[in-house]
Structure 1
Amino acid sequence: MENQTISKQSQRNGLIVVTLAIFTDMLVYGLVVPILPGYALSLGVSQTAIGVLFGSYAIALFVATPIFGILSDKVGRKGPMLWGLLGLAGATLLYAFAKQFWMLVVARSLQGVSAAITWTAGFALLADLYPSQERGKVMGIALAGQSIGTLIGPTVGGWLYQIGGYQVPFLAATGLAIIDGLLRIFLIKNVPHEKSESVLSSLNLLKNRRLLIIVGVVIIGASIPCVLEPTLPLRLQKGMNVSSGVTGLLFAIPTLAYAISAPVIGSLSQRIGHYKAMTMGMILAAVCFPFIALSNSVWLVAIVLVFLGIGMGTAITPCLPEFAEISQKSGTNSFGASFSIYNTAYSIGMMIGPTLGGILTNYLGIVWSYSVVAIVILVYIIFFNIYNHHALKTA
């Protein structure tokens, strides 16, 4: 498919729809954070059960992503984008009226499935609409929607909960999902799409070594904030006497830095090369990690978290257009499948991060724990660049 034949209006409409879709998904993802634990406890469940509740999102995302990625290559993008919307609206309504714990688990799992559909079909739609030289910038803009949704979700959820009680945040999210759905219906029109004729051709992407080496970058980038979540708050609150409110603001810093920098990074990586940008991002993240644990000043922690957010964005943002490039060069017309691999890798990082961070901190303490994470990233950088150097010589 020739992207150049697509009108600028169609491209803009697609970018608006995908960015809002990802923003809405991550807004709802974060909206439940300050609400669900207390409500689940009121239903008489244990802390372990609450952990299972929150983990069910990543598990559902992991399972559903490859299925709907391949399906979007077969049937096109508009249908799956609408399915994802229906799943998200259903999940928010189920949250609102859940009276038993299993209903919360079903809602959280349905939310993960809808994210799998929206993310894979959404980024595949952008790859369909934009030529390769513009994908870095537009995918960076879409990722900014992710970061903004993640950033304001918990705040909006907590605020609406205080104003109107448990159901109000979810009913408001359902209203936003309806608006999002109307945009998906009316703005995504006449989008050309070359359907993949074979599921096997999509699965052949897994044999591509270039793609698999980038999968490692995605896993690292996704795990970085998840390492911090179970470990840094205790360091801040017990070791530095930082309040819960300030801790929440500190966690918002890397997300905000990511949101602001992602569109710029997308354009920059297009100019300097995606692999070079990924390497720079991983190096910056690796350098930041030990300094977070060693810092004794809240202001110093805040500054390091800014650079960590930029590092995360610089590592992950170039992965998206590179995935599309690999898919296009493979000749399989399988953007959905390629972005399903991205989503699967991201969900793996979300599962590895908190587990690794918790175990290492428990046995080694936070300084050595974060240092080990930094060493792992640096070792992967060496492997990543050796492989790329060899690939260039043999190309």
Structure 2
Amino acid sequence: MTTTPAIPQQNVNGTHSQKVNAGFRSSKGFIIAVVSIAVFADVFIYGMVIPLIPSILRERLAIPAKDLQKWISILLAIFGGAALLGSPILGFIADKGPSRKTPFVVSLLALAVATALFWAAKSPVELVVARCLQSLSGGAVWIVGNALILDTVGKDQAGTAMGYVSMALTVGSLAGPALGGVLLHWAGYDSVFLVAMSLICIDIILRALMIEPPKNKASQGAVSIPDESEPLLRNGNGQPRYDEPAECPTQSLNQGRERRFTVPPILRLIMSRQLLVVLFASVIDSVLYNMFEAVLPVFVIRTFQWSSFGIGMCFFALGLPSLLSPVFGYVVDSYNPRVVSTFGFTLLTPTLIAMRILDNDPSMRAQIMLFVFLTIAGFAFSAQLVALMVEVSEPVERLERERPGIFGDKGALAQAYALENMAWATGQLIGPILAAELVQLAGWSVMVTVLGAVSAATAVLLAGTSRWASRVVWKRTGETGSEQSVNHGHGEI
């Protein structure tokens, strides 16, 4: 009698274990966690190091007191300038390269080199190089990380996933300066960088373990998204009317493939009216947020005579609502990102204008009201950030639907987030300058009024360019039920 050889149980278990491990390493939850931790580590280390720059310049580099402000300004400007110049390149590499994981891991090595340069800097040139590397690393984390999440979860769950990333961003930005100051005071200069390097090592392990999903998965399997830039002119049946003659699918596909070699994807994205609106809103969001960093500390010192603890509590109140970012993301998934972003700017408008009453009022009532206003503003900023992060991907999906293959086989999702990173960096440059000039020339009351008006104008722009507004203005009787079914489940503004 012939017996069947027994299968080695160890090999079976080993194969099963490998499959389980591979499945976990490529799972949605693990990838979202890795990206969120990467964003947290980047802003956390940034926040730990930034408060040390004045002491590095004074004590290690022996910069004269009269040149201290100049070098601080230079280092701040270099960070924004490197982000503006490097973002398009990082987005192109992430989209056209063989893997998103490679630039994601390399960016962390750049952060390690930047941290080491800060740690051992003996000349201003080393600090300049460190700031450039730090900026490029942060840009890569943001651009590649967001693209990875869209590749992983698809469009329907993007809001919730982006909510966790937004929460990690704010928690890192709040915890970094606080821990950096405590470590510097109690454990010395080297302890700050030892903690930073330890966090980088943990982050490297997590990023190396991650198995990335196929590129552009979101656009391949996503549910069709209502087009925010639908033509406003309609025919007698209430359907969109295009001035261009209709094309057969084959002709459209061939034209898309032919044109993609002549126009770089990032230029096609810039020419998208829908994306330009989102990018403009991102610039304004960054301007409004960064003005607090430039003006709020001076305002509370002058008005309330607060110390650094009071200033820290202000930023804590501003950042605390970000813990609810996953909730905002769920709302984005359930309705529409344009709904949430418009709500955020609308809520921020009266909040900023109401801050006029705090000017020259050192009373306890004014101090309590400041924390109330900052908390409300924090809700608005968190809602805006999550919604705009998700909405950046929609123009890419729309163009891919209209002209399949227009961005090539690997898509242009990372390049869209590169443009968003450039928009945020622009706001980082404009916001502090604008706020400081307004306060100096016209005072606190005028500054918050102007910024409130800018927020209101942005809300009107977002609402006015939405598909909902187009339908209300141009709606005709006899709209087909099919259009209504497409809109169902994707709430309108």
TM-score (normalised: structure 2): 0.75
Q: Does 1:153 align with 2:176?
A: yes
Q: Does 1:209 align with 2:273?
A: yes
| Deviation of 1:366 (Å) | 0.6
Which residue is 1:317 aligned to? 386
SS of residue in 1 equivalent to 2:215: coil
CA distance in 2, matches of 1:223, 1:250: 18
Q: Does 1:70 align with 2:92?
A: yes
Which residue is 2:320 aligned to? 256
Structure 1 residue identity aligned to 2:43: M
Q: Does 1:337 align with 2:383?
A: no
Which residue is 1:3 aligned to? none
CA distance in 2, matches of 1:85, 1:59: 20
CA distance in 1, matches of 2:199, 2:419: 28
| Deviation of 1:190 (Å) | 5.0
Contact (CA 8 Å) 2:44, 2:176: kept in 1 or not?
yes
Gaps of 5+ in 1: 1-5
| Deviation of 1:329 (Å) | 2.6
Give 1:308's match in structure 2, choosing from 377, 380, 400: 377
Contact (CA 8 Å) 2:41, 2:172: kept in 1 or not?
yes
Question: Relative to structure 1, is the Cα distance of residues 59 and 167 closer, same or farther in structure 2, using a 3 angstrom cutoff?
Answer: farther
Gaps of 5+ in 2: 1-21, 218-256, 401-406, 475-482, 484-493
| Deviation of 1:161 (Å) | 1.3
CA distance in 2, matches of 1:123, 1:16: 12
- Range that drifts further, 144-153 or 230-239: 230-239
Which residue is 1:26 aligned to? 43
Which residue is 2:30 aligned to? 13
Give 2:448's match in structure 1, choosing from 365, 370, 377: 370
| Deviation of 1:194 (Å) | 5.3
Give 1:349's match in structure 2, choosing from 427, 433, 446: 427
TM-score (normalised: structure 1): 0.93
| Deviation of 1:163 (Å) | 2.9
Which residue is 2:207 aligned to? 184
Number of residue-to-residue matches in the alignment: 388
Which residue is 1:109 aligned to? 132
Which residue is 2:62 aligned to? 44
| Deviation of 1:193 (Å) | 2.0
CA distance in 1, matches of 2:280, 2:212: 36
| Deviation of 1:294 (Å) | 2.0
| Deviation of 1:132 (Å) | 0.8
CA distance in 2, matches of 1:79, 1:150: 25
Q: Does 1:220 align with 2:237?
A: no
CA distance in 1, matches of 2:144, 2:150: 10
- Structure with the higher helix share, 1 or 2: 1
Give 2:337's match in structure 1, choosing from 259, 268, 274: 274
Q: Does 1:59 align with 2:49?
A: no
| Deviation of 1:183 (Å) | 0.4
CA distance in 2, matches of 1:83, 1:70: 15
CA RMSD of aligned residues (A): 2.1
Which residue is 1:136 aligned to? 159
| Deviation of 1:277 (Å) | 0.9
Give 2:459's match in structure 1, choosing from 368, 378, 381: 381
SS of residue in 2 equivalent to 1:35: helix
Give 2:311's match in structure 1, choosing from 241, 247, 258: 247
SS of residue in 2 equivalent to 1:99: coil
Kindly name which structure, 1 or 2, has the bigger radius of gyration based on alpha carbons. Answer: 2
| Deviation of 1:293 (Å) | 4.0
CA distance in 2, matches of 1:27, 1:18: 14
CA distance in 2, matches of 1:250, 1:202: 39
CA distance in 1, matches of 2:154, 2:353: 39
Structure 2 residue identity aligned to 1:16: A
Contact (CA 8 Å) 1:223, 1:350: kept in 2 or not?
yes
CA distance in 2, matches of 1:118, 1:81: 6
CA distance in 2, matches of 1:33, 1:253: 20
Contact (CA 8 Å) 1:19, 1:145: kept in 2 or not?
yes
CA distance in 1, matches of 2:385, 2:470: 21
Describe the superposition over 1:176-209 as per-residue Cα deviations: whole angstroms up to 9, x where unpaired.
Answer: 11110110001x2152125998681343111111
Structure 1 residue identity aligned to 2:202: I
Structure 2 residue identity aligned to 1:32: V
CA distance in 2, matches of 1:348, 1:218: 9
Structure 1 residue identity aligned to 2:42: D
| Deviation of 1:225 (Å) | 2.3
CA distance in 1, matches of 2:183, 2:78: 24
CA distance in 2, matches of 1:211, 1:309: 25
Give 1:358's match in structure 2, choosing from 436, 439, 444: 436
Structure 2 residue identity aligned to 1:156: L
| Deviation of 1:167 (Å) | 2.7
Contact (CA 8 Å) 1:203, 1:337: kept in 2 or not?
no
| Deviation of 1:390 (Å) | 5.5
SS of residue in 1 equivalent to 2:384: helix
